[in-house]
Amino acid sequence: MSITTDRSQVSLLRRDRKFRPDWLLLISYMTLSALGLLMIYTASAPRLEALGVSPTRELEQQAAFVLIGFMAFGIVSLISMATIRPWVSAIYLGSVVTLVLVLSPLGSSVKGAQRWMQLGPIRFQPSEIAKLAVILALAALLAAAAKPMRWERVARAVALVVVPAALIFLQPDLGTMLTFGFIAGVMIFVAGATWRQVAALVVVGLIGTVGLFQVGAIKEYQITRLTAFLDPVSDVLNTQYNQYQSQIAIGTGGLFGKGLFNGTQTNLRFVPEQSSDFIFTAVGEQLGFVGSLLVLVLFGIMIWRVLVSAANAATRFGQLAATGVAALLAFHVFVNVGMTVRLMPVTGLPLPFMSSGGTVFVMMSVALGLSHSTWLRRPTLPIERSGAS
């Protein structure tokens, strides 16, 4: 595909007045964000009140991020993928550089992990930005792939992912590293990899992971964290304390939940990291199975819409970028919710649009914006044409 084609599409879109947003995507995005704010409030207010500060402090903070995120989504939606594509290399390189910097004394450490970067008043997580950068870089690389894909292309794609993944591994942030693997796998598959290549990737991935364990690069606590969830009573008070408490909290929610502010587990702070990694616990306890299912359905709709954008994308670059976004969202949701119900180990991946945290929200919004951008610039579909006439 060439840039010329993209330009023609933009003009086509404008000409046809097909500049129609994906309402379902917007509804799920906004509903999840709003629900996230509510959950953050219910989870943080009692604690903040006990500390004697404004109970809405965390809510206000997150609300600001949500607004920034909305704006970022809107802006990115309006930018054509074609406009972004020339910048991909720069974005990727910049991301790798910040990942290096975060490991340097410039980065700051939180709970044993070197994940934060301070830039003037802004503090952000380079690893979150890196997810976006990797999606874009992979999309650009794979968009030019021949069909069937050559091995050389697969190798380059893997190399592209391994560099930031290794840097993130050093932080250490196992969850994000695994996210890269998942995203890369999905994108390479969609880009047209042969079954052999897919199989080879799986094998290499497994060997790589086992190798890391073998050389002891993965620290003891990471292994413990990864395996502890398999044995619910091994050490309830330490390693999987959070997870166990979270599971209990969700379990007590029942079908309809205990109602807002009635979650004893949540409100009595048995579940730590309540408003960030374990925000889904507040949903499960307070809103029950119905509320939990609602959240999953909203994410389902969102991912479905992103995949539809990919299917309808005018360019391969857009298609692959949207595919990467879908994989990113799905992996985060699966791992995060899976963690709160002790289906997955504790990895520290936040729940998109709901967990508190600025970088994640803005980054996810940008990712969603990319997908939406391809949707807005999709070639006209017969149904829409007929609907317009």
Contacts (CB under 8 A) with another protein, residues 295-334: 296, 299-300, 303-304, 307, 310-313, 319, 323, 326-327, 330, 333-334
Taking the complex as a whole, the smallest distance from the CB of residue 120 to another protein amounts, in Å, to 33
Strands 107-110 and 122-124: unpaired
Give the distance between the most distant pair of CA atoms in the chain: 65
Place of tokens 């290794």: 166
Q: Which is nearer to another protein, 284 or 348 (CB)?
A: 284
Asked if 249 contacts 271 with a C-beta cutoff of 8 angstroms, the reply is yes
Contacts (CB under 8 A) with another protein, residues 189-228: 189-192
Q: Which is nearer to another protein, 75 or 381 (CB)?
A: 381
Q: Which is nearer to another protein, 86 or 254 (CB)?
A: 254
Taking the complex as a whole, the smallest distance from the CB of residue 179 to another protein amounts, in Å, to 13
Closest by CA position to 44, among listed 261, 330, 322: 261
The residue from 194, 260, 338, 384 that contacts another protein (CB under 8 A) is 338
The residue from 127, 176, 245, 347 that contacts another protein (CB under 8 A) is 245
CA–CA distance, 351 with 355 (Å, rounded to integer): 5
Q: Which helix (H) or strand (E) element contains residue 68? A: helix 57-78
User: CA-CA distances (angstroms) from residue 275 to 25, 282, 364?
Assistant: 24, 8, 17
Taking the complex as a whole, the smallest distance from the CB of residue 216 to another protein amounts, in Å, to 28
Closest by CA position to 136, among listed 92, 193, 195: 92
Our finding on whether 9 is near another protein (CB under 8 A) is no
Q: Which is nearer to another protein, 194 or 222 (CB)?
A: 194
Length of the chain equals 389
- Phi, psi at residue 115, to the nearest 5°? -120, -15
CA–CA distance, 325 with 305 (Å, rounded to integer): 11
Q: Which is nearer to another protein, 51 or 210 (CB)?
A: 51
Give me the amino acid identity at 167: L
The residue from 3, 144, 155, 268 that contacts another protein (CB under 8 A) is 268
**63-97: burial string, b at 16+ Cβ within 10 Å, e else:** bebbeebbebbeebbeebbbebbeebeebbeebbe
Our finding on whether 112 is near another protein (CB under 8 A) is no
Give ∠ CA 196-201-203 in degrees, rounded to 5: 95
Total interface residues for another protein by CB under 8 A: 50
Taking the complex as a whole, the smallest distance from the CB of residue 347 to another protein amounts, in Å, to 15
The residue from 343, 381, 385, 388 that contacts another protein (CB under 8 A) is 343
Taking the complex as a whole, the smallest distance from the CB of residue 23 to another protein amounts, in Å, to 20
Taking the complex as a whole, the smallest distance from the CB of residue 274 to another protein amounts, in Å, to 10
Closest by CA position to 298, among listed 253, 337, 246: 337
Taking the complex as a whole, the smallest distance from the CB of residue 105 to another protein amounts, in Å, to 27
Closest by CA position to 281, among listed 233, 309, 248: 248
Taking the complex as a whole, the smallest distance from the CB of residue 278 to another protein amounts, in Å, to 12
H helices within the chain, ranges in order? 3-16, 23-51, 57-78, 81-84, 88-103, 126-143, 151-170, 174-190, 195-214, 220-228, 241-253, 264-267, 279-312, 316-340, 358-376, 382-388
Contacts (CB under 8 A) with another protein, residues 143-172: 147
Our finding on whether 341 is near another protein (CB under 8 A) is yes
Our finding on whether 250 is near another protein (CB under 8 A) is yes
Q: Which is nearer to another protein, 323 or 359 (CB)?
A: 323
Selected range binding another protein among 63-71, 96-104, 114-122, 248-256, rule: CB under 8 A: 248-256
Q: Which residues of this protein are in contact with another protein, per CB under 8 A?
A: 147, 186, 189-192, 237, 245, 247-255, 264-265, 268-272, 284, 288-289, 292-293, 296, 299-300, 303-304, 307, 310-313, 319, 323, 326-327, 330, 333-334, 337-338, 341, 343
